[in-house]
Structure 1
């Protein structure tokens, strides 16, 4: 794994071809099925080994939790996006299959009066279509359940945005932009499920286009570039990944210390994420929008703006990002977690 060899079949081959792999395998050649079973059986213990690596690094005075940079990357699933079915397409297939079922039923009733096409087994054809209809109904139910979960998440986010705008009005400030619209429930035409890997999702990728996969997150120590915590999610949006990562960092052994600052790009910005960081005694430095490249010379060397009188955590974070110290600290994100 440390050298980027993850496939069980490649590891098996390497125990023949690579001196290093032969050494680790004590000159034996485990079958790829054995390797895959080992990985599944001891996954939780292997995970604990990575925490031990961090503790060893701490004893070597290489790492102590402090400034953490967070970023995500899309990991391709072992499934083709062409094996995905959309909610709307399922409805069209169902209609076609029901039409064929009616046609077969009619042929069965008239079988005594007219001959059937050579090789046609009406009961078998009916059974095949009934099985497909059941599978499609199961897929629709799963999409609808996901849609309900999405609606509940969107409703919470909507309520948080409304509450924040109301708080701004009470402070005598006019909220920017239009009031948010309440989310709409129910499955959407383009909601999809993959028939090969139901847990994976269609994800936009940085190179453009979409892939069937997962959204993996890594929290990296700014000083050493050691990965301190990871999560994997089915959500393509990074906005909801700050709180889960805070939970992961909170489970690390006490000798590693506590994170003090969290650096993240604009994809992670939300009022809820800023509040989650503050609740965990972590200073958030999350970009509110994409920064323009090649800032003007005088702007780069301008004095820090005056601290705001507001107690709003977003206003305070925005001010900190405009200071020289805040900009320098946020700039560390690009050369730590991204590579």
Structure 2
């Protein structure tokens, strides 16, 4: 009765119908990407405490970069826009190298889009011109930092400089196979390029219109650079001829050699056999590392396709760099030059190099007529089980090449041996920083 008095005047509610279709438009939360938001971001919390970029920044923070900072003209009350910190540029390229980034434009985009690079920049904007110039122009500084970091690792007992391993890796050059031309073709290209440069220079000097003059000046500069590359290719071709004549004087097999060619894109590049068996323009990067620790002790960039004869020049560079020579030196069979082995024996270095198989099927470790004391000791050493066991760590040095491949060191984006060497220095220093950190924490 109480319920009837309280709710008697309410209208009767209909029972819900099963599977009834809803009426009206649905209310949904749709994305709206044209709106502007203000966010509060803690840059320090963008990356974790164990992130590799913190290792690189901690290394860069402790460096003395006064030689770069002294070149900056904007100081105190003097006019001028503040320069980008060299410490920041160094850290950006070291981390970008370890991530396989080798382009200034790509790095500029990453600094705007990815949290790791935004953490490094800390609100500082960078442009690709500054980044690209910094990557190539400071090879002397990078070489000094590499030597100082190696000395610090050796002092801490993390690397053993008594046993070193040398190995070469071929890297594709920034030059097409079609850019290699013979002498007659280079002469024609030189005459054409010189005529274009002269014509454009006359047009620039006679035209008064400013915009057209800038366009003509740009074309004249491009033609002049083309002319300089053709001249460099001619000089490289003459050098190739001299080297070929010297080899033919030492040994002649009676075959007529092919006419030499040089590249008009990268005159210092040479066609050489790559790891996959193909022949392409490239550079031969010789790397010396501490056997077992994967730390780069030294390297050199050459345009010689063969490793034979490159052991002694590298040891001379090591002595000039570290002030000492190793006691044991591990190389593969491609470095097996009797002259280099004899020289190393005279210097007190034990060379571990597998001898090449004889064409007659004889044991390559047996003494041969004309062997000197160094070669005899080397053959005896490689025939023993102890010598074979000491040679095994050599394969570990190839992990550095594999790491660089993973960092996209497959195709060079710069031309010329000096610029290639500057680019490889970034890979060597980044490798030692991260690998040294792992060794210290092991």
CA offset at residue 246 of structure 1? 0.6
Give the CA RMSD over aligned residues: 3.5
Q: How many Å apart are 1:138 and its aligned residue?
A: 7.6
Residue of structure 1 in register with 2:137 after alignment: 41
How many pairs were matched up? Answer: 262
Aligned with 2:380 (options 293, 311, 319): 319
How far is the alpha carbon of 1:46 from its aligned partner? 1.3
1:236-273, CA deviations, whole angstroms, 9 ceiling, x for partnerless residues?
A: 0111211221122112345xx64111111111111122
Write the distance in 2 (CA, Å) between the matches of 1:133 and 1:8.
27
- Within the candidate set 267, 275, 288, 2:342 is matched to 275
- Please give the per-residue CA displacement for 1:279-307, whole angstroms capped at 9, x wherever unaligned: 4332111222169xxxxxxxxxxxx999x
Corresponding residue for residue 152 of structure 1: 246
Once the two structures are superposed, what CA deviation does each residue of 1:203-261 show, in whole Å capped at 9, x if it has no partner? 1111121111100010110131211110000100111211221122112345xx64111
Larger Rg: 2
1:336 aligned counterpart, secondary structure: helix
Structure 1 gaps of 5+ residues are 98-131, 159-179, 292-303
* Structure 2 CA distance for aligned equivalents of residues 49 and 305 of structure 1: 45
What residue is the counterpart of 1:331 in the other structure? 392
Which residue of 98, 104, 108 maps to 1:2?
A: 98
Unaligned runs of 5+ in 2: 1-96, 193-225, 359-364, 403-442
Higher strand share: 1
Q: Spell out, residue by residue over 1:52-110, the C-alpha distance to the aligned partner (whole angstroms, 9 max, x if none).
A: 2212212332013111111101111111122111458769x79xx9xxxxxxxxxxxxx
Secondary structure at the counterpart of residue 337 of structure 1: helix
Q: Paired residue for 2:303?
A: 234
Partner of 2:220: none
23 and 60 in structure 1: CA distance in 2 versus 1, 3 angstrom threshold = farther
Change (3 A) 1:224 1:69: same
Q: 2 CA distance for matches of 1:151 and 1:36?
A: 40
Which residue among 128, 148, 165 is the counterpart of 1:52? 148
For residues 136 and 45 of structure 1, what CA distance do their matches in structure 2 show? 31
1:316 Cα offset (Å): 1.6
1:79 to 148, 172, 175: 175
Other structure's SS at 2:308 match:
helix
1:336–1:192: structure 2 CA closer, same or farther, 3 Å change rule?
A: same
Please give the alpha-carbon distance, in whole angstroms, between the structure 2 residues aligned to 1:133 and 1:7: 26
- Conserved in 2, the CA contact under 8 Å of 1:87 and 1:188? no
1:136 deviates by 7.5
Distance 1:190 1:329, change over 3 A: farther
| Structure 1 partner of 2:264 | 195
Compute the TM-score of the two structures, normalised by the length of structure 1.
0.67
What is the TM-score normalised by the length of structure 2?
A: 0.52
1:212-227 pair list within 5 angstroms: 212-227=281-296
> How far is 1:335 from its partner?
2.7
Q: Is the 8 A contact 1:83 1:194 kept in 2?
A: yes
